[in-house]
Structure 1
């Protein structure tokens, strides 16, 4: 699968970002939270807008006890807002910085589906091919197309909603899973609906697409994405790992997805259960490059990008889903979540704006997803005609991790599913 690049290869432009504040020595879930220190910043938006953004972000961090986050907003005709808040490690107080590696959850799906669409452009597969042509043992696989898998319309059960499996993952988050083991979990349940008749977010879909890529290309998925997606765009700090390691320097991730709901450091938990659907690693700068490339179809033909962008409503006002891409009120991209981390990478073509949000916790605030709260706050101020929505709050009895905020119910899907 994917290989990491050494940290010394990181682009020198990041080293020029000045440190402007001291370390924030706040505990993750302290009863009170001091003012959030800004660890690093680069900005040239007008001062009034900067002040509003600072206030909105720090208010959410204080209320929700968020340890740290990176946020980047780039609008060429208006300016840049790129800041790191809080800490990357609550034990040492190491400040958050914009060049830290982080896990990005379901943003991984945008890379995997792009890989599928590149195979379409190469004439090696067709969107309306049945998945049974490439992967055996799929219930109803003769009637489920690659297009339906990429568009979340296959009807296949989402393996990350299997309650017994969720309990096992809570108890042993370091266990490695193979893609076939994940499919076995999914296929132990009947399909939820006939292919193509409804929309429902399911990590099973993207795992199948990853297996298809490996079958057709003859490469491990991580290596395929490195060669065909990451390298062409010089995404030097993005990878799909084949183990639980995360390169240095990185942000630690904090979760309450534990047997007793206590807070744990999930940094080195094994993400193999997310694989093609949620196991990638990246950083702020690479996602700044990726979001517009994804929205513009940089790596695809115009015809294939047009197929990707045939979106369908997902039941949330202003939200629609295409082929591995989300449209939230004009913002094109994806969000992501897995234990310890949340993320957004999106492009707003109407204003040539790029938004990236990276947070090192997935612990909900009053049932609400943190990255969506930050995305909503930022876009409400800067692009009020195109606001990133906050999905309905998850039920208080449901754990914050792992679920998927792209789904229409609860900000996390219809249960307690990981790889958001």
Structure 2
């Protein structure tokens, strides 16, 4: 579930320091040449896909020095024959947080919001909201509980996947939980923060969040394959892979690692994965309901990190806002104004049942890495896209996997 995205960030932070075995990608067109790194990475990604039981994946690298490369491995359906493609639509999970956060920062640029504004100015229902700022919501330092850790929510998602949740219903679940710490006293990744930001955007602009994301981000960047769906929609536009997971939401509430018995059954083919493609993503809303494609994600993360969506001053402040998640590990993953950092890469990971995404950009080397998988998490609890991104960047930067 997207509440566990920091586990993926932690794995990605070291990027630089057989039942559903995925078939290999087709060879490049006659006469086309592959970058040197691709010859090493292709079989390694195929091995990882088999090891993590990934049904389908796409990985893309953009680098002016090393060369561009896109590979698609696997099929759109479990044990199917139709291959995944780079143009497929996928659910991007918590990468959506950067969309919501960017809209908030654009409103700051326009003077409609201030980072130091108390949340109580907009949401009097937030406990201790007079001492929680917009900035602390963006940086995950409010201390507010995380609604996606609710067992009741997980049970509803398992038993009634078509349920349409309202943002205020989700927020109420989070606000009823005990705070983790006083505002600003630590880091705690909570989707309640982003749901509040989404509702504040709607309050300030008078428009639905999907309208603001479309008009402020997707349209200006030409992201024609991307969307932030209305809460009532569970559709994933064609073409798309099916999204799979081996454990229910209740089973993976505390840990994504399934029991040894289930892991063995998945590997020997006696346990088929659950198809969760059409689970209504309203439960994720501002924190994780976005839809995109490989090329769109690459274009987006380059603008997210390289600039063009915010004023130069606020863009610089956003990059400089990142602090270590664990103060005792200054070289570990960092988080700031709805933006993560892992090694030299800035961007975000995204995980929700059925899909895992990594989108990162290194502004120094102007290198972009995007990976998505149509299975998440793996039965042993790994985040497949983060694992593959780790391997890709290790090869690109000569640090190994």
**Under TM normalisation by the shorter chain, which class is it?**
0.7 to 0.9
Question: Would the aligned equivalents of 1:104 and 1:337 in 2 still touch at CA under 8 Å?
Answer: yes
Deviation at 1:365, TM superposition (A): 4.9
Taking the aligned partners of 1:40 and 1:312, their CA distance within structure 2 comes to 42
SS in 2 for 1:350: coil
Partner of 1:312: 323
Taking the aligned partners of 1:62 and 1:190, their CA distance within structure 2 comes to 41
Deviation at 1:135, TM superposition (A): 2.2
**Match status 1:124 vs 2:112:** yes
Deviation at 1:41, TM superposition (A): 5.5
Deviation at 1:359, TM superposition (A): 0.4
SS in 1 for 2:347: strand
What TM-score does the superposition give when structure 2 sets the normalisation length? Answer: 0.85
Residue in structure 1 matching 2:273, options 245, 260, 263: 263
Question: Would the aligned equivalents of 1:44 and 1:79 in 2 still touch at CA under 8 Å?
Answer: no
Taking the aligned partners of 2:195 and 2:27, their CA distance within structure 1 comes to 37
Question: Would the aligned equivalents of 2:347 and 2:359 in 1 still touch at CA under 8 Å?
Answer: yes
Q: Give the root-mean-square deviation of aligned CA atoms.
A: 1.9
Question: Would the aligned equivalents of 1:135 and 1:211 in 2 still touch at CA under 8 Å?
Answer: no
Question: Would the aligned equivalents of 2:246 and 2:378 in 1 still touch at CA under 8 Å?
Answer: no
What runs of 5+ residues in structure 1 fail to find an aligned partner? 1-28, 389-420
What TM-score does the superposition give when structure 1 sets the normalisation length? Answer: 0.81
Partner of 2:244: 254
Q: How does 1:129-278 map to 2 (within 5 A)?
A: 129-242=117-230, 243-258=233-248, 263-278=273-288
Question: Would the aligned equivalents of 1:40 and 1:85 in 2 still touch at CA under 8 Å?
Answer: no
Partner of 2:266: none
Question: Would the aligned equivalents of 1:170 and 1:257 in 2 still touch at CA under 8 Å?
Answer: no
Q: Which has the higher contact order (CA 8 A, sep 6+)?
A: 2
Residue in structure 1 matching 2:35, options 46, 49, 54: 46
Deviation at 1:91, TM superposition (A): 5.6
Taking the aligned partners of 1:136 and 1:297, their CA distance within structure 2 comes to 34
Taking the aligned partners of 2:28 and 2:195, their CA distance within structure 1 comes to 37
SS in 1 for 2:375: coil
Partner of 1:360: 374
**Match status 1:326 vs 2:313:** no
Taking the aligned partners of 1:189 and 1:196, their CA distance within structure 2 comes to 17
Q: How does 1:93-132 map to 2 (within 5 A)?
A: 93-132=81-120
Taking the aligned partners of 1:168 and 1:39, their CA distance within structure 2 comes to 41
SS in 1 for 2:220: helix
Question: Would the aligned equivalents of 1:102 and 1:250 in 2 still touch at CA under 8 Å?
Answer: yes
Q: How many positions carry a matched residue from both structures?
A: 356
SS in 2 for 1:233: coil
Partner of 1:406: none
Taking the aligned partners of 1:263 and 1:244, their CA distance within structure 2 comes to 19
Partner of 2:302: 292
Question: Would the aligned equivalents of 2:54 and 2:378 in 1 still touch at CA under 8 Å?
Answer: no
What runs of 5+ residues in structure 2 fail to find an aligned partner? 1-17, 252-261, 263-271
SS in 1 for 2:105: helix
Question: Would the aligned equivalents of 1:75 and 1:352 in 2 still touch at CA under 8 Å?
Answer: yes
Question: Would the aligned equivalents of 2:59 and 2:371 in 1 still touch at CA under 8 Å?
Answer: yes
